[in-house]
Amino acid sequence: MPHFFRHFRFFAFGLIGFLLCSCASQKTKGDFAGQPYHTRIYSGTYDEVWLAALKALADYPLKISNKDVGKVHSEIINGPYNDLLFSYPDPIELPERFRYSMKLKFAKYATSDGQPLVRIRLIKELERYQDFYTGWVPFPSDGIEEKVLLYRVEHVLRMEQKLASLGL
């Protein structure tokens, strides 16, 4: 009988340890408010990066643009991507079944020697119309539009900084 209890205790502790470890939830890296995000850090002042981002977002109707809080939200755009930004490599069937909005979050940083840095986190909240009963459901983005938009911010920022250094 004592031999049975020794094995039973070992099994019970193993089972409890397994359940504790397997049920632990961990926030997935890359999630920001439940959505995957794209991040880039820019060298420049907050004002410079803010203006560069607004210029890069010129093709998007904006709903929120609050510099003090560091948020920019676009209106809901019909389709899976912005036709004015780029032409998508593959044709999408039934593009009217998609809609999305872009959300940008800004944060100020500085290097160890005091140079200003600004981080931009970009989320594309893409939704697909499922059916009459289900309605709009989240749909994963391929990340192309987000990368293009962050590249445009960097490009506009570099051009503005170059023009300022030339005195133009």
CATH of residue 159: 3.30.530.20
Provide mean pLDDT across the span 149-162: 94
Whether 9 maps to a domain, the answer reads no
Q: What is the pTM of this model?
A: 0.72
Instruction: Give the three-state DSSP class for 43.
Output: strand
Instruction: Confirm if 77 and 84 have CB atoms less than 8 A apart.
Output: no
- 58 or 4, which is more confident: 58
Overall domain count for the chain: 1
Where does residue 80 rank: exposed (0-12), middle (13-18), buried (19+ CB within 10 A)?
buried
- Tracing tokens 């594309």 back to the chain, one arrives at 124
**Residue of higher predicted confidence among 27 and 56:** 56
- Asked if the structure places residue 19 within a domain, the reply is no
pLDDT at 167: 84
Percent of the chain with pLDDT over 70: 71
**What per-residue confidence (pLDDT) applies to 58?**
92
DSSP, res 69: T
Q: Quick check: is 22 in a domain? A: no
Give 30-54 pLDDT, tens digit per residue.
544 556 789 999 999 999 999 999 9
Domain that holds residue 64: 29-166
Instruction: Please check the confidence at residue 1 and state whether its pLDDT lies above 90.
Output: no
User: Domain for residue 2, yes or no?
Assistant: no
